Amino acid sequence: MQCPRIRRGVAVPALRVIRVPISWGGRFMRQSTVGAVRYAACVCAMACVFQVSAGEVNLQGLASGSSHQRFIVSYKDRVGSTRATGLSAPWGEIARAVPRRQGRALGLSAMRRLSAGPMLLVADRRLDRVDSESLMRRLAADPTVKRVEVDVLMRPLLAPNDPGLPQQWAMGTTTASLNVRPAWDRTTGKGIVVAVIDTGITAHPDLAANVLPGYDFITDPTVAGDGNGRDNNAADQGDWSAANACGAGASASNSSWHGTHVAGIVAAVGNNAAGVVGTAFNAKLLPLRVLGKCGGYMSDIADAIVWASGGKVTGVPANPNPATVINLSLGGYGSCSTIIGNAITGAVTRGTAVVVAAGNSNMDVATSMPANCANVIAVAATTSAGAKASFSNFGKGVDIAAPGQAIISTLNSGTTVPANPAYAVYSGTSMAAPHVAGVVALMQSVALNPLTPATVEALLKSSARPLPVACAPGCGAGLVNADGAVAAVINATLLTSNAVRTGLSAAIGDSLYYQVKVPAGTRSLKVTLSGGSGNADLSLRANALPTDAAFGCRSMLVGNTEACTLTAPAAGTYYVRLKGTLAFSAVNLVATY
Total of domains in the chain = 3
Confidence (pLDDT) at 79: 54
Q: What does the pLDDT look like over 64-102, one tens digit per residue? A: 888 899 999 998 876 555 555 666 667 788 889 999 988
Its domain, for residue 126, covers 56-150
pLDDT in tens, 125-177: 999 999 999 999 999 998 889 999 999 988 777 443 433 334 798 998 899 99
**pLDDT given at position 360:** 97
Q: Compute the average pLDDT of residues 199-213.
A: 97
- 578 in a domain, yes or no? yes
Q: Which residues of 382-401 are buried (b: 16+ CB within 10 A; e: fewer)?
A: bbbebbbbebbbbbebbbbb
| pLDDT tens profile 214-225 | 999 999 998 998
In 3-state terms, what secondary structure has residue 223? helix
| Per-residue confidence (pLDDT) for residue 202, from 0 to 100 | 98
Q: What is the pLDDT of residues 425-455, one digit of tens each?
A: 999 999 999 999 999 999 999 999 999 999 9
pLDDT exceeds cutoff 70 at 344? yes
Cis-peptide, bond into residue 370, ω within 30° of zero: yes
Cβ 456 vs Cβ 440: under 8 Å: yes
Residue 20 resides in a domain: no
State the pLDDT confidence band at 316, using cuts at 50, 70 and 90: very high
CATH number at 105 reads: 3.30.70.260
Q: In this structure, is residue 64 part of a structural domain?
A: yes
**Whether residues 229 and 326 fall in one domain:** yes
Are 431 and 500 within one domain? no
Same domain assignment for residues 507 and 564: yes
CB 450 within 8 A of CB 511: no
**What gap in Å lies between CA 567 and CA 436, rounded to an integer?**
43
Residues 581 and 448 reside in one and the same domain: no
Assigned domain for 19 exists: no
Residues 425 and 444 in one domain: yes
Cα(515)–Cα(540) distance, integer angstroms:
9
**Rounded (10°) CA dihedral 63, 289, 315, 342:** -50
| pLDDT value at 36 more than 70 | no
Q: Using alpha carbons, select from 229, 346, 222, 217 the residue that is nearest to residue 286.
A: 217
The whole model's pTM is what? 0.80
Let me know if residue 5 belongs to a domain: no
Quick one: pLDDT at residue 458? 96
Query: For position 78, what pLDDT does the model report?
Result: 63
Domain of 549, CATH number, reads 2.60.120.380
- Annotated catalytic residues are 198, 258, 430
- Domain of residue 258, CATH code: 3.40.50.200
Q: What is the pLDDT of residue 154?
A: 85
Q: Over range 101-130, report the average pLDDT.
A: 89
> Which sign does the torsion angle of CA 86, 90, 93, 99 carry?
positive
Residues 146 and 204 placed together within one structural domain of the fold = no
**In the listed set 459, 489, 519, which residue is the last one of a domain according to the structure?**
489
Residues 388, 515, single domain; the answer is no
Lowest mean pLDDT segment, chosen from 157-161, 313-317, 534-538, 577-581: 157-161
* Residue 487, number of CB atoms within 10 A of its CB: 19
Same domain, 519 and 463: no
Q: Is 323 within 8 Å of 195 (Cβ atoms)? A: yes
User: Quick check: is 110 in a domain?
Assistant: yes
Helix, strand, coil abundance in the chain, percent, nearest 5 = 25, 30, 50
When the pLDDT of each residue in the chain is averaged and rounded to a whole number, the result is 87
If you average pLDDT over residues 41-55, what whole number do you get?
A: 47
Domain boundary among 489, 506, 541: 489
Where does a domain end: 98, 115, 150? 150
Distance CA(267)–CA(260), nearest Å, equals: 11
513 and 467 fall within a common domain? no
Q: Are the CB atoms for 65 and 247 separated by under 8 Å?
A: yes
Paired residues of 592 in beta bridges: 526
On the question of pLDDT at 4 being above 70, the answer is no
Would residue 541 count as lying in a domain? yes
For residues 289 and 272, membership in a common domain is answered with yes
Residue 178 has pLDDT above 70, yes or no: yes
187 and 305 housed in the same domain? yes
Structural domain includes residue 294: yes
pLDDT score of 30 more than 60: no
Percent of the chain with pLDDT over 90: 73
- 577 and 516 within one domain: yes
Residue of higher predicted confidence among 273 and 396: 396
